[in-house]
Structure 1
Amino acid sequence: MTQETKKFADFNLRPELLRALERKGFETPMPVQVCVLEDETLIESDIIVQAKTGSGKTLAFALPLINALDFKTREPQIIVLSPTRELAQQTAREFAWLGSESGVRVATLVGGLDMERQIRSLRDGANVVVGTPGRILDHVRRGTFKTSSIHSIVLDEGDHMLDMGFHDEMEAILQSMDNVERTWLFSATIPPEVMSLARQYLNAPKKISLVSDITSHEDITQKAYIIPSRRRFEGLTNVLIWEAPSRALIFCGTRAETQDISDKLCDIGFKATAIHGDMSQRERNTALGALRGGRVGILVATDVAARGLDIDAVSHVIQFGLPQNLESFVHRSGRTGRAGHEGSNMLLLTAREAKQFKFMASNAGSKMKMEWIPTPDALEIEGQARIRFEKTLIEHALGSDEFQSWAENLLTRDEALMLVSGLLAKAYGDQPSGYSIKADVEAELNREKSRNDKGRQGPVPSGKRPSEGRKESSARPNMGGGLIVQFSEGKSDGWEVGALLGLMCRCIGVGREDVGNIKLRDNSASIELSERGAVLFESRKDRLEKEGLNVTSARKIESRPHDYHDQRDGGKPRSESRGPHRDRKPSGTRERDSDRPKRRRITK
């Protein structure tokens, strides 16, 4: 019997489990479930399972573990560690319905919910405990959760738990359990940190991998749209109108940007809401309920806030900006194309970010098929909108001949053209329109191509010093009149140069060209900003503090280091040779009225 024809009934499962699966309409197991269920020796082993998000891994560990439960004892026997409240609650619900006939009792231990209620669920004889590392460890240290009877541990989305800084909590929990018979690790990616944890706490684990290339997914269409760096929001708007997603999840880099994008989308007629770490649990639940109930069609989220979310039928994942790494890209894209459904994953990148992402993917040996497309312009959107509208008209006409005789009469009259024109004005007037950004995209693509061509010109001519060659190939604007901003966070707080640069650009609203040297130390960091960046920094620095970057000082830059070279060579400082310096006001973020869409739009 081949893997494709396997049924749940073909495995040695309790009748109660089979009946629960049948009630849910589950007959054929997914590949990861087959891999775990068909090898009955795995129940006696530690295992590492690498499988994509949405591949059915919860049932893959819940079925065999419930099947091996001792229902005579009323003590916890299985513990599942999850990175987020939402994923823990989702997993607990899966255990509850799956074990409903078997007498399975589940205790959910997560932050933000009543501690006394959780203690009662443990005292009532829970044999399965699901929760987040922080709250579980809290119960262990309080003595309200006794771990001596635990024989099975599941580390669900182990890579995410380590990404979120739960390493110490996970170690403390694992060290508190002395009678563990099996530890199962499930993860979409296996970075070095996950392997280090596995070597320490798993005993000769068997490995199951259903992922040959973490970036490939047969049910997900991959697209990358090139957007202008100075008009990123307009690019996002055009993509949303063009793609017309039924339910979309937009990923942003920071909490401030998440709220900002959500508010702007609502202002122009989209039904959107945000979810991020600054929101209370009630606010998060309200946002999720609005999406699931169809009251909004777009959820704008940070990586951390979206982890573990179980949202059905997400048609589009939109990654707004460069992902922090390829693992982040994979986890984001895994929110669509789940459980056999098709989905679209889209990257919205500037020309510079596109080059960085291509290098990231190539460096990881990815064979992902990505379609690279300039963001649709207003004229293209208008053309597509007309085609969609005409298609809708034809579908209505084919569905009913109620107005056919009237239409025939109208077309015979002298004013037929005016009647049709008035009908279109009345019915089509509220269709979505976009922004004119084609020239901006083409200009940035040409600049990037020119930059690449210079990089391929070969060695510096013999008549020039090496430093001069570097200036020509990668010239930087003068930071004179700008600021050196000092922060109290550094490497020990998990910051990297790329993350600092991206956060600064997004929060302050500057481009890469407005950022100079970035110096990252263990316990501090400093970033140079241009004169324009300095002006914007003064009015928007509170956004950085909301993202965990605390400013300790800001010092004015009088001149750049190369100015001193000019003086040493006998020349004048650049500020003198250029004559009086004129104050430049920062360019506004709002477009001119002529650039705005002409019609207000109401979209999904």
Structure 2
Amino acid sequence: MSELNGAVPAIAKALSKRGYETLTPVQKAMLDPALITADALVSAQTGSGKTVAFGLAMAPTLLGDAERFGSAGAPLALLIAPTRELAMQVNRELEWLYEMTGAVIASCVGGMDIRNERRALERGAHIVVGTPGRICDHIRRKALDMSEVRVAVLDEADEMLDLGFREDLEFILEAAPEERRTLMFSATVSSGIAKLAKRYQRNAVRIATTSEEKQHADIEYRALLVASADRENAIVNVLRYYDAKNAIVFCSTRAAVNHLTARFNNRNFDVVALSGELTQNERTHALQAMRDGRARVCIATDVAARGIDLPGLDLVIHADLPTNSETLLHRSGRTGRAGRKGISAMIVPVNQRRKAERLLAGADVTPTWDRPPSAEEVTGRDQERLLSDPIFLEKAREEELDIVARLAETYGAEKLAAAFVNLYRSKQSAPEDLIEVSVQPGAVRKPREGGDGRPEFESAPRAPRGEFGPSVWFSLSVGRKQNAEPRWLIPMLCRNGNLTKTEIGAIKMQTEETFVEISAAHAESFAEAIGKDKTLERGIRVTRLDGTPDFSRQAESKPYAKKSYEDRPAREGARDDWAGKPKKKFSGAPQIRDERTSEKPFREKPAGDRPFKDKPPFKKEGKPFNKDAKPYAGDGKPFAKKGKPKQANGGPDRRK
């Protein structure tokens, strides 16, 4: 309680009523007596209690020596937030913080009914909370009187600059009195924030809390390497493995949000979407569903990366890599707030690993590199949660004893347990079987050879697989000719035969069939699971074999062998000296058959001889060619141009 002594009495009572016994570093810094009348530029990580901090900071300026506010008139304080959700959240926080001061708080947020806001401003308000665009609109319409503003607070100032609100902020600050206090709160102090502070603050006190030096100490960062085609399947397994009370999945585009929302709805996840295309009413309902427990997963764009405080948000998943390191920190900052622990899981396709490394290095974050949880790991975690469920510790109520006795007598303990397990699993989405990537769990980073300082991955050695033990061989009617691969055969066998990877041994592929080794302990159950017709997906037939198959058996095919000349049967009347002799290639000179000798069946005729009937040589008539002469037709007239000659009357050319 001693930490609250520096606060205004009414504010201290509200904090005590709320259960505050200790303050965060940024909240303690704002109670410094030297800051009562000074401007401040505060940088602190997301989730460090900044809303309560600037509520504590502006209270002495607004109340002075009084314990309660007087009648409401022109606003005394103006709080600006980048998004609608953050503005509404600030409004809710200030309502309980200033509850005992009698403060009237009005909100001016885009997407809400502007007429209701204008009426609220006309009735009077001590504190106004809003977004830049809507506040500018009220100022221009003369609905918001800025003449009495004593404190102006910019929450998430760096985000407002990133969203393009610089001109709106400058317009608002220039409309406020010059003697006001200006408090800027930002997660990072960029050059743009420094310029804005230098222009609109007077001798601002720079406050950097100790928690800023160590980014998100309560957040466990995990970088999960996946095959590019398994990105969405990996998200499913991560959600199922951690089974967080509240989780948020960040996407880069609205289309990706809509796609994942539709898919996760089909997978029995309680999902809501949050993106810029939704109306304010839809976004409010989505967040309220998360707070009420009606939804457990929120699929959102980066618009929702700032300022959202969801109770029990234990897991943040980056479905798409963030654009920069600051966005990574702000996304991750939705969890691990106010001393709670959280997990930030980044889904990293193998072809984007270098980009992920740069983002993490820029954020000064050292993650744990791993693969997403496998289907077996998700199933094992489900079994642990089922066995430790507190429902087993509860005693049956008196009105339930009759039905409990009848169930036990009718079905027995084993069938009841099986029904309970099936009912438990039916409410959950089945985990996905993922493609293995080259980086194994536990992979570490070491300096790259060559001394360039960039990290490379050194995979932990794969544990050798022991002897498979007794087994039974099965034959599948698909092979290399049908593009069979273990990457889709193994999941298909597991789905249809109620098997796991550990119960499948060697896989030997032939041209048109594949031999699969199944553990002897599960061979019978596998045969029963695939049914009487012994057919899997895609019409693949399964046959149980006796003993070990012959792996050298291949489809027999004899290549075509061209017969030699000696093997050809002799033709009647054929010349023996010609048999087997290759024909001469045409050399350009005419060849004729010589019937007078058999030693040279073909001979070349001299170029001077004519092989055909003599014809009189072509004789040119007329005078020798004169290159300077003009070409003439036979009738003595110059050659006409190509196309039909034009006549004076436009008629056809009737010359012959």
TM-score normalised to structure 2 length: 0.61
Secondary structure class of the residue paired with 1:44: coil
| Corresponding residue number in structure 1 for 2:175 | 176
| Corresponding residue number in structure 2 for 1:357 | 356
Amino acid at match of 2:10: E
Q: Is 1:217 aligned with 2:216?
A: yes
Q: Distance in 1 between matches of 2:55 and 2:126?
A: 13
Contact persistence 1:237–1:434 (CA under 8 A): yes
> Once the two structures are superposed, what CA deviation does each residue of 1:262-310 show, in whole Å capped at 9, x if it has no partner?
1101111111111111111121122112211111110110111343223
Contact persistence 1:375–1:438 (CA under 8 A): no
Amino acid at match of 2:3: K
Contact persistence 2:35–2:57 (CA under 8 A): no
Following TM superposition, by how much is the alpha carbon of 1:428 offset from its aligned partner in structure 2, in angstroms?
6.3
> Once the two structures are superposed, what CA deviation does each residue of 1:196-241 show, in whole Å capped at 9, x if it has no partner?
2222222221111125656622222222221221121111111111
Q: Is 1:33 aligned with 2:32?
A: no
Q: Distance in 1 between matches of 2:395 and 2:374?
A: 35
Secondary structure class of the residue paired with 1:101: helix
> Once the two structures are superposed, what CA deviation does each residue of 1:54-111 show, in whole Å capped at 9, x if it has no partner?
2111111112312322545732221111101121122223223322332312221111
For 1:173-252, list aligned pairs within 5 A.
173-211=172-210, 216-252=215-251
For 1:294-309, list aligned pairs within 5 A.
294-309=293-308
Secondary structure class of the residue paired with 2:36: helix
Contact persistence 1:83–1:160 (CA under 8 A): yes
| Corresponding residue number in structure 1 for 2:492 | 594
Q: Distance in 1 between matches of 2:158 and 2:361?
A: 22
Q: Distance in 2 between matches of 1:421 and 1:103?
A: 58
| Corresponding residue number in structure 2 for 1:141 | 140
Q: How many residues align structurally? A: 443
TM-score normalised to structure 1 length: 0.66
Q: Distance in 1 between matches of 2:256 and 2:360?
A: 25
Q: Distance in 1 between matches of 2:247 and 2:331?
A: 12
Following TM superposition, by how much is the alpha carbon of 1:391 offset from its aligned partner in structure 2, in angstroms?
4.1
Contact persistence 1:96–1:106 (CA under 8 A): yes
Amino acid at match of 2:376: L
Following TM superposition, by how much is the alpha carbon of 1:417 offset from its aligned partner in structure 2, in angstroms?
12
Secondary structure class of the residue paired with 2:369: strand
Give the fraction of aligned pairs with identical amino acids, expressed as a percent.
34
Contact persistence 1:215–1:330 (CA under 8 A): no
For 1:555-566, list aligned pairs within 5 A.
none
Amino acid at match of 2:381: Q
| Corresponding residue number in structure 1 for 2:647 | none
> Once the two structures are superposed, what CA deviation does each residue of 1:530-561 show, in whole Å capped at 9, x if it has no partner?
xxxxxxxxxxxxxxxxxxxxxxxxxxxxxxxx
Contact persistence 1:322–1:357 (CA under 8 A): yes
Q: Is 1:61 aligned with 2:60?
A: no
- Which has more radius of gyration? 2
| Corresponding residue number in structure 2 for 1:51 | 44
Q: Distance in 2 between matches of 1:252 and 1:595?
A: 33
> Which deviates more from structure 2 when the two are superposed, residues 91-100 or residues 381-390?
381-390
Q: Is 1:84 aligned with 2:89?
A: no
Aligned with 2:377 (options 364, 376, 380): 380
Contact persistence 2:267–2:429 (CA under 8 A): no
Contact persistence 2:41–2:204 (CA under 8 A): yes
Q: Distance in 2 between matches of 1:301 and 1:205?
A: 36
Contact persistence 1:82–1:155 (CA under 8 A): yes
> Once the two structures are superposed, what CA deviation does each residue of 1:331-353 show, in whole Å capped at 9, x if it has no partner?
11111121222222211111233
Q: Distance in 2 between matches of 1:198 and 1:12?
A: 26
Contact persistence 1:151–1:179 (CA under 8 A): no
Q: Is 1:256 aligned with 2:255?
A: yes
Following TM superposition, by how much is the alpha carbon of 1:381 offset from its aligned partner in structure 2, in angstroms?
2.5
Secondary structure class of the residue paired with 2:41: strand
The unaligned stretches of length 5 or more in structure 2 are 64-68, 401-410, 453-487, 498-656
Q: Distance in 1 between matches of 2:2 and 2:81?
A: 29
Following TM superposition, by how much is the alpha carbon of 1:313 offset from its aligned partner in structure 2, in angstroms?
1.4
Secondary structure class of the residue paired with 1:68: helix
Does the C-alpha gap of structure 1 residues 116 and 46 become closer, same or farther in structure 2, counting only changes over 3 Å?
A: same
Does the C-alpha gap of structure 1 residues 265 and 84 become closer, same or farther in structure 2, counting only changes over 3 Å?
A: same
Contact persistence 1:317–1:346 (CA under 8 A): yes
| Corresponding residue number in structure 2 for 1:436 | 433
**Which has the higher relative contact order, 1 or 2, with Cα contacts under 8 A spaced 6 or more apart?**
1
Secondary structure class of the residue paired with 1:7: helix
For 1:271-350, list aligned pairs within 5 A.
271-350=270-349
Contact persistence 1:152–1:180 (CA under 8 A): no
Q: Distance in 1 between matches of 2:432 and 2:228?
A: 14
For 1:409-448, list aligned pairs within 5 A.
426=422, 430=426, 432-439=429-436, 441-442=437-438, 445=439
Does the C-alpha gap of structure 1 residues 6 and 189 become closer, same or farther in structure 2, counting only changes over 3 Å?
A: farther
Secondary structure class of the residue paired with 1:315: strand
Contact persistence 2:36–2:60 (CA under 8 A): no
| Corresponding residue number in structure 1 for 2:367 | 370
The unaligned stretches of length 5 or more in structure 1 are 404-414, 460-589, 600-604
Contact persistence 1:251–1:318 (CA under 8 A): yes
